[in-house]
A and B are shown apart, each in its own frame.
Chain A
């Protein structure tokens, strides 16, 4: 079955760029039926959607993070990646990647539920 695995540094210094990669196995990232998303969860807090990408490279981001976020895709490696710049302690969180359903009708496309999720990776921002 489809599995996702996050990877990247667990510690990032303030003002630097957080970089994570999600490797997809058991299925192709190049499917017209899905987006691929990043979600984070600060310790003891709720979930926050960061952004999502389609295999063609089109992206959409959380407006509150848009100025600092870049999500990219590498279909040859079946991976997608997250970069978050100018990080602060407030960016300390467990970062999840997930497959997200995609439905298109009447010229519009809609993003659906996240399933499955990766196990998550804790990124701490500290000097």
Chain B
């Protein structure tokens, strides 16, 4: 059982927007602005997409955005493209430890 709760799956058609939630507690997501999101294609290593809740690393399309409200963080992918189909994981600093969500499989219909 993962420390952070994500929906197992999400989907959307090309061009649409989809939002993936990541729910924790006041000891992790709600307590710090150190939430990150990772994209993982099959057989590949995870890739950082969002850090510190809403910041994008260089090279990540601005179609990817992050936010947080209380104990829940969210990743929004706008203008869905076929290559966005992947697993997405959230992670948070949790006071001397790091916790991950269980992952969400995003399907582009």
Residues of A whose CB lies within 8 Å of any CB of B are 37, 39, 46-49, 52, 60-63, 96, 100-101, 110-120
Contacts and interface: CB of A to CB of B under 8 A. Distances in A.
A42 to B, nearest CB: 12
B45 A112 contact: no
B36 A119 contact: no
B91 A46 contact: no
Interface residues of B, number: 23
A48 B46 CA distance: 12
Interface stretch (B15-23, B69-77, B78-86, B94-102): B94-102
Contacts of A119: 45
Contacts of A60: 96-97
B20 to A, nearest CB: 14
B64 to A, nearest CB: 14
Contacts of B57: 115
Contacts of A101: 51
B46 A110 contact: no
B47 to A, nearest CB: 7
A52 B93 contact: no
Interface string B35-50: 0101000000111100
